[in-house]
Each structure stands twice: as C-alpha cells, then as structure tokens.
Amino acid sequence: MDALTSIKTNKILFYDNVILSMAAFLLLSMSPNRVLSSMVEMKIVDEPSTYGYAGMGSFYQPQDQSLKLRVKPANFSGPPHLKRLFGKCFTKTDETYKYKFCPFYNVSQHEQGLRWNPYNGVLGVWQEWEISNNTFTAMLLREGDSCGEKFRSVRVVFVCGNKSEVTNVTESRTCEYELTFRTQLVCHRFAMLVYPVLTADLQDRWNELEGQLDRKEITQKGYKKRLNKVFEDAGLQLSADVRQHLLHEANEKAIQEEKQAKGDLETLDQCKQELTNLRTEMAGLRTLLELHGITDSQNGIEKTSKDGNSTVKTNLNESNNAETVNSTRSTQLNTGRLQSD
C-alpha cells in the first residue's frame, strides 16, 4: 500500500507541475497586447465536444459510458419478434430532459439545461415482464439510481404504432416512471400473448393448473402462485430468491465502489488496477502537453515553438529544490537558537 501512496503522491505532484508550467508558459509567451487581442466571445453549447480526444479514457466520456448500472440487465425474454429491438435505443426529448430507452437493457435520463452539473442517470435496468390474463402488459425496469430511500424504476407499456418510438414519459409517483413505446411489432392481436412463448413442458404445466382450478382442486390464490412459478421457470419473471440475490450483489458492489473511492484497496488486483488507471491518466496528460508543444522531463517542462528554433523552459524541480533548501536552513537556524538558549 506504501507503493500506492507513493504513486498517488507523484500523480498529485505531476498535476501541480503541469498546471504551474502551463501558466508560466502563457505568461512568458504572450504579451499584454496579444492577451487582449485573443479575448473573444464565449460560445455555450448543449452537447460536449470530444475535441479529438474521444479515445483518451477519462478525459472524455459520452453520456452513456459514464452511467453505472446497479445490477446487470436480465437476459432477453418474451415474444421472440421483439428481439428486433434488442441492441437498439430510442430517445425522446422535451424541454427539460432527454429520455433514452434501450429495450432489454435500461432507461436513462439526461438533463438538457445549462447547469454546471446536469443530471445524467439511470431510471431503471431491465428485470422482468408484467403479465396479466395471458398477456405481456409491460416491461419492468428496476434498480435505477438512488432516490432517497428507494431506487428509480420504469414501467414500459407497448402500444401499436406506425413506427418504433418513445411517445410519452411520465413520473406517476416520485421516482416511479411510466414510458409509452409505440411499435408495429405489437399490432397483431396475438403479438403479446404469453402461452405461445412457453416451452411444451411449461404449457403442459399451465394446462394442468387450469384443470385443477376448474375442478376446484386448488384455490385462485394457489393457482396464481403456481402459475407465477411457471413464468419464473420460463425466465419471464424473477423469483423472490433471485431478486434478493440481485439486491445483495448491488449492495456489495456499492460498498466496494465506496471503498475504492476512499482509496481503500484490499487486494493485489485492486492495486494493480489502480496503478493501471493512474498510468493511463498520466499518459493522457502527456499527450495533451505534446499536442501543445510541451514536453515534460525529469528537470522540468519545456515548450518548443512551431518552428523548433526557440524554447521556453520552466524548471519546476529547481524551484521546488530551492524551497526545500530554504526550509532546511531555516530549521537548522531555529535548532541552533534553541541549543544556544
């Protein structure tokens, strides 16, 4: 762990050197007239630009790459023809938010305002189907971002339409959303039936339950409980045990992320990963410096002009060494005075 502390310290010193050297370069290379002439009107844009550095790790991340899912999306299930939607995303933008629905994956929300910290988060992750009267009535996406004492969730309702699109998003209750998705894939009257999706064995189990209910061998409550078990075995719904397991994994993941954020690394693999992340960030910083004609070295940071003839060098290490020497001399003088006293 001492090695990791040393790495983090070097990283902080490197960042400080970069900032100081760039400031020194600007002061040395720009005259007052040039500073005034370079002042232009700032343009505010809604969408972030990659500035050509889209592949440089943490320096730029598209909206969805920065989103973290509490749980993994469930596997595909439901009507086979809806597989055409798998891997696609559909958006709807209003005055305040842009909503992004990726069937069988998640629903996310992106604030469109010009605040310095706009909300970009996950409203729900694909979990299971809502089933009623032998019909898939809605997709249920749960375990979204934290919202007070609970987590955001979305209920997605499918309706017939000429094309696939998100038509409406409402917040029926606090942090509980309902999204309406229009598509041609559900226009057939049998498109959302559950029974045809089941395997032959599960269909036989359902048929047997219907017979037991007709003969009054089981109650309506018992029939519903056993039918839900059929849906769980088909992968259409989550059992209580599976749901509890997902919540446990999500909580463990949150605890580990909190420890990593505090710098608490418990395993060698975590230390190696942190070292890799630090090296990636430092490599990105060096690339940015090189793009501006600035190269760092052990003795300082140099800036070379475009024609290559002139060089402005800021020796930060010498300045730091001078401060260290002065501090040492001051300590020695104070120690001598105490001894003489």
Element containing residue 6 per DSSP (H, E): helix 2-29
Tokens, residue 213: 């209910």
- 221 has a pLDDT exceeding 60: yes
Predicted confidence band of residue 103 (pLDDT cuts 50, 70, 90): very high
**Which residues fall within 8 angstroms of residue 110, CB to CB, at 6 or more apart?**
63, 97, 98, 99, 100, 118, 119, 120
φ/ψ (deg, to 5) at 218: -135, 155
Predicted confidence band of residue 21 (pLDDT cuts 50, 70, 90): low
Question: DSSP string spanning 144-187?
Answer: -SEETTEE-EEEEEEEE-SS-EEEEEEEEETTEEEEEEEEGGG-
Listed range (62-76, 191-205, 276-290) with the worst mean pLDDT: 62-76
Alpha-carbon distance 318 to 171, whole Å?
A: 60
pLDDT tens-digit map of 278-299: 898 888 888 888 888 777 655 4
Predicted confidence band of residue 300 (pLDDT cuts 50, 70, 90): low
Question: DSSP string spanning 236-300?
Answer: SS--HHHHHHHHHHHHHHHHHHHHHHTT---SHHHHHHHHHHHHHHHHHHHHHHHHTTEEEETTE
- 167 has a pLDDT exceeding 60: yes
User: Which pLDDT score is estimated for 258?
Assistant: 66
The dotted CATH code for 75-197 is: 2.70.130.10
- 93 has a pLDDT exceeding 70: yes
**Which residues fall within 8 angstroms of residue 35, CB to CB, at 6 or more apart?**
none
Distances (CA, A) of 57 to 4, 51, 90, 278: 21, 13, 26, 11
User: Which pLDDT score is estimated for 265?
Assistant: 67
Q: Which of 13, 29, 77 is nearest to 242 (CA)?
A: 77
What pTM, to 2 d.p., does this model score?
0.58
User: Which pLDDT score is estimated for 154?
Assistant: 97
Q: Where are the domains of the chain?
A: 2-54+268-318, 75-197
Segment 97-104 shows an average pLDDT of 96
User: Which pLDDT score is estimated for 271?
Assistant: 81
